[in-house]
Amino acid sequence: MATTDPQAGTTATTAPAEPLDPTGAPGTLPLPPKAARTLTLAGAVGTFASTMLAWTWTAEFPGDLTYYGSPVDLQTLTLAGSLLTIAFLLAGNGVRGLRWLTPGGRTAPVTLAALGTFGVAWFTAGAIAVVLGGFIHFEPGMWVAVFTSLLTVVGALGLRADEPFDPADPALRDPGPWQRFRHSLKAPAPAAARELPGWAELLTIAVTFGVGLFVFTYGIDTPYGELFIGFLILVGFGATALARAGLSQRLSKLTAKHRNITFTAAFVAAACFPFTQSSDQYTSVAANILIFATVALGLNVVVGLAGLLDLGYVAFLGVGAYAAALVSGSNTSVLGVHFPFWAAVLTGAGASLIFGVVIGAPTLRLHGDYLAIVTLGFGEIFRIGMENLDGSSGPAVTNGANGIANIPDLVIFGFNLGEDHTVLGVELGPFANYYLLMLFFTIIIVTIFRRADRSRIGRAWVAVREDETAARAMGINGFRVKLIAFALGATLAGMAGTVQAHVTSSVTPEQYQFVEVVPPNSAFLLAAVILGGMGTVSGPLIGASLLYLIPAKLQFIGDYQLLLFGLALVLLMRYRPEGLIADRRKKLEFHETGQLDVPTGGPGLSKTEA
């Protein structure tokens, strides 16, 4: 097509715009649509078949991948990824009975599922080569998995994208490979769904949490690091694929419609976890995850709702733990008293509340970085103070660096949590008992958070967080509102600390540092809130679970976990600054909405009118 430049008087020839296919924009790779679909399906079927073959000849590699017709561990993950890829591909092609899988995007979920399967297969190949010492230890099944998983990705990248290229977008006029790849992973908003009967909606919620319990149980029960890494790869890509398919948005609407049912189903599924375990090996990890998660949720009141950067929050957890330990009847406690559990909980929560008010009253008049520095100093003062209350440097209260040890197990209504008990035919160990107790406190803390968030004071917190000057102009007492948030967050942390003291059976100052190898500590708590999503209920719970579970399962990253977490946060801030679970306000704040801040026409005219 020829165009004339009126200034230069020359004629330039430009290529005609590429016609858009009704099914979407061209794929990342120049493949015909039918060939891309055939290649993707053939690769996924081949990957599925490879899991029925032996991947290595020796049982020295963890999992024993030497059997035919009996996939295990990493083979099972690869098999699941290939089935998910096939299901998304058939659903995108309109196969009856599977269309509900892709109410939104059709190509993006196929590509992401293929990448997840490829990641698991190639990671397994690399792990076998490293552990056993070379590719010579591969059996035919491993070579087939490597080749067919790559074939699946090539075919998926040739599928037409869900979203057509926008000629008005300068970044897409001459897109490179990376821009085309990122564009292929975009998916439009899901179409309006047909209204389901009430029983079907409730069944969908119940099944979703049942699947979530199965996935979490599988991940926490992984016996070796290689399998856990493969699990993370598949779950990460699989969850993103479900989101791009539009299923996550559909589920979010159902859970928003049935909030109380969702709340109940979530905690019923969590309560079933100890009954899936045959020992206390992993219930101990789960109990500590709940402690870490509930403390992070308390910090979310301070950081996520009120917008106060608190770098010494773990000190409030320590105040509650020390208060409970002093009245627990331990033979190392200087008080020599033994309160009932309910009184110990009130003591720990009350002590943290008092410390929160005492520390917050003089410091909350500061803002931003100054407030962060002061709270960081308070956290260190608490730790050093507990070390000095040893009878030598100060009064004999906490036994100094030795802490308070031999904290007795809790006895609630004659039920000793430190002993094994048989419930519904399943033997529950001590950590399972404490897990269920901590789950009860999690329900209380989540309920308090939800009620506070929707209350008048919760709206005042959000107003102060967004613009304190404007909030004060509207009649909100900024200092009082922030002090309430600080005190409530401290109280919730102290409540969790009372249970932590009995779970760990000892309390020492080293447990409450700003940065420590083993969480909870202030840095990890803040990272959990940011990673999961500030201002949400499920965000800090998920973020805390990941930050605690990954180091617990991958011991070899102990020396590098701070580096890896820092890198993860940098990538998160670049590609998903609102966190893994974000509320609507954060999505609008961190992502473009397509609305113009300033009209582009003349004065008083919009672009269309101009």
Summarize pLDDT for 120-140 with one digit per residue, the tens: 999 999 999 988 888 888 889
> Does pLDDT of 40 surpass 90?
yes
DSSP per position, 2-44: EEE-TTT--EEE-PPPPPPBTTBB--SS---HHHHHHHHHHHH
| 416 SS3 class | strand
Ranges of each domain in the chain = 33-166+176-251, 280-512
**In which band, very low, low, confident or very high, does the pLDDT at 591 lie, cut at 50, 70 and 90?**
low
25 strand-pairing partners: 161
Calculate the alpha carbon distances from 285 to 61, 157, 224, 423, 534 in Å: 25, 40, 15, 21, 24
- Of 94, 111, 71, nearest to 23 by C-alpha is 94
pLDDT digits (tens, 9 = 90+) for 297-350: 888 888 888 888 888 888 898 899 999 988 888 888 888 888 888 888 899 999
> Does pLDDT of 163 surpass 50?
yes
Q: Mean pLDDT for the chain?
A: 81
* Tokens matching residue 56: 């290595």
| 425 SS3 class | coil
Q: What is the DSSP letter of 332?
A: T
* Tokens matching residue 462: 């959000």
Residue type, 253: K
**In which band, very low, low, confident or very high, does the pLDDT at 503 lie, cut at 50, 70 and 90?**
confident
pLDDT of residue 354: 92
The structure's pTM equals 0.81
pLDDT of residue 539: 83
* Tokens matching residue 248: 């996550």
